[in-house]
Amino acid sequence: MALDSLITLSDGFIAHQTATLSPHWGPLGWVTYKRTYARWLEDQERTEEWAETVKRVVEGNINLDPRLHDQPDASVVEELTEEAENLYRLIYGLAATPSGRNLWVSGTPYQRAHGDALNNCWFIAIRPQSYGESAIVPSYLQPDEPAASMPWAFMFDELMKGGGVGFSVTHGNVTQMPQVARRIELVCLVDSANSSAEETRRAGALDRAQWVENNGEPEKQDGCWYYRVADSREGWVRALAGLIDSHFDYFPNGIRRVVIDVSDVRPRGARIHGFGGTASGPAPLVEMLGDVNRILDQKAGDRLSSVDCTDIGNLIGKAVVAGNVRRSAELALGDWDDEGFRTMKQDQEQLAHHRWASNNSVVVDGRPEQYEEVAHEVIVNGEPGIVDLELSRHYGRLADGYREDADPRAEGTNPCGEITLENGEPCNLFEIFPSIAQEQGWDLNQVLGLAVRYAKRVTFGSYDWEVTRKVVSRNRRIGVSLSGIQDWFLSRFNRRAITGWKQETATDGTVRRQPIYDQEIARALDGMYQAVVEADNEYSAELGCQPSLKHTTVKPSGTVAKLAGVSEGMHFQWAGHFIQRIRFQDDDPLLKALNACGYHIEPDVYTAHTMVVEFPVEAMGWDSPRFASAGTVSAEEQLATQAFLQEHWSDNAVSCTVTFQKSEEEQLPTILAAYAGHVKSTSLLGYVDGGYSQMPKETISIERYREMETALHGDPRLLFAQLHNKKEEGEEDLTLVGLADCASGACPVR
């Protein structure tokens, strides 16, 4: 049960639903769920079952309704209880689901303490900002005092909560950073009693007792800032903030030495209570602080560049990933004409060290020549992506036309690009699988209404940062997303959105191929969008809050789509039949059940202590004559489909990684330029199927698929229960390895 739950789902209701409704598990659905979202039940020494997870998630959300505070009206309780039951049926059957973050956190004590953990991703501008009334305010600052450290502290905090962070290093932001005033002598100390002391010393720390014997107690020294890192997320963030600010003029008398004592930080492998997972030990923190200090030292007397600011963000992401089950998702957003930013990943040494930690995109203003140049670079380097902020600021759905006030303060996006965001703002997602919903007899307008209300309640959670509280209460931005879109087009309309092409001649004489959109699908999407807006207006009036600034999106999906077995976001299925490979830690007890069922399992050739399991997958609608896959559909049709969804469905943005064949490279600049002003963000990736060992997805023939299917026997769910009836050491901290919540791998697992 969620903490302080006024509204709960009865045991009798749950029992009836589980007896009469079957979840629409995909081929990898239950396995993905069990090792990604099923929380450990300490008192029962087992992980949750799906019915328990959905109950926790729904109760955690429904009780966020602000009308339940104080003395709620009985009619409100009755209304929300009925809504909770409908939500339960919807999610349990896998016709729709909240984001992976909600599946993991909703209804837990961690949600109560940190409501922002319900949000997937964030955006922050790299410029001096005040901490305000936030959970983390450095003691040497006034809350309203702008500080250089704030955006990186915000980034570090949200990444450690499991979110992804987009950040802007455009000229207009980084030039606001003050000049780096001084070099700093950084000393990191660790007590020999810490069981990770040896590893931490290798990362650059010194033995505390020996240093104090030679230098005296650091807190008593002039010109020195001493900080003993508390064994908490906040402690790590404060250590970074103090180091950054020491290079500027934020301390009352200026300092020359910073001493960071990590002796109290729990050692590698210790349990992290609350969010979950295991600790990395203090070594990654020490390594990160040393690397950040070197960047700032090198800029003493000068200003930070966009590359410097991105490097600091990447070093933070690297520290979050190191030795932990969390994933770090970052998007660095730079200027189109910033050559240093655009080429920073060409430094192979720096790329290997930390610059891998972000996907990099550039801000464009809709000029076709910018898109052409991006395409040329993508063919060579795979980056950058494109973000058209002007389009996002002045348009919701493109079909609704130009509006000066559509989203005027938007400055960036989340790491996958489907939500344009203001400074400090999170994305807030709910995902609908329309083909499954209709198969199960749901009215899509009812489903959309439930999705809107679920996401709207998330905006009433507790947020640790003042900048976030302000923007969330002003915008109430939500992102109702459709997934399995290509499956739905085939099952509902028996065709794709693009029915053909026509030639058009522009005023300058340029001839362009224009897509012909299916008007029945367009009308269906238009009607669904209006249903979302109507549901939001109605619920906003009930709650007495602002209607949402924007409402709809298409997220790339990944882990969540695998639960239901649908195509990911707007992406086409990989193939009619393919192998999906998933990596597990080698001591994961699920491997026993999968092995007993006949799944092929082998050691990972790239990573130690990791096993690879092969799952045969048959795509929904594979036998339709109109079926298309990532290996057969053109880049041009993918872009046209993205533009179609941007016009008729999404008032935020549409995330898509457009795959292109080798044969399309020559025409790719022209093709991409044709969609300038029609897509708000996009990225491109060369299509690869085969060519290296243990690819995540690999096309196979129908004969090979049937051969693999025939080799399977038994139900892994039953075998897991039989083979695993007691807690194994560290089991509560296991997770799927290398499986992201988004198809492109940009988002965190949870």
Q: What is the SS3 assignment for 387? A: strand
Q: What is the DSSP letter of 566?
A: -
Beta-carbon count within 10 A of 107 CB:
26
Q: How far apart are CA 440 and CA 139, in angstroms?
A: 56
Catalytic site includes residue 647: no
Compute the distance between CA of residue 36 and CA of residue 687 in angstroms, rounded to an integer.
28
Catalytic residue among 416, 427, 742, 747: 416
Distance in angstroms (rounded) separating the CA atoms of residues 84 and 454: 10
Instruction: Give me the DSSP letters along 182-219.
Output: ---EEEEEE-TTSTTHHHHHHTT-EEHHHHHHHH--GG
CA distances from 612 to 33, 387, 619, 744 (A): 17, 35, 21, 19
From the candidates 418, 422, 431, 466, give the one annotated as an active-site residue.
Answer: 418
Establish whether 418 is a catalytic residue.
yes
Sequence-ordered alpha helix ranges (H) in 277-367: 283-298, 306-321, 339-343, 348-353
Strands 600-603 vs 511-517: parallel, antiparallel or unpaired: unpaired
Q: Which residue has the tokens 């139900």?
A: 715
Bond before 696 cis per omega within 30 degrees: no
Q: Which helix (H) or strand (E) holds 223?
A: none
Handedness of CA 167, 169, 171, 174 (dihedral sign): positive
Q: Both tokens of residue 242? A: 């103090």
Do the strands 681-686 and 385-388 form a parallel or antiparallel pair, or are they unpaired? antiparallel
Q: Alpha-carbon distance 720 to 718, whole Å?
A: 5
Contact call for residues 170 and 268 (beta carbons, < 8 A): no
* Range list of H helices, 109-249: 109-113, 150-160, 171-174, 197-202, 208-215, 233-246
Q: Would you say 423 and 565 are in contact if contact means Cβ atoms under 8 Å apart?
A: no
Q: Among all residues, which ones are annotated catalytic?
A: 416, 418
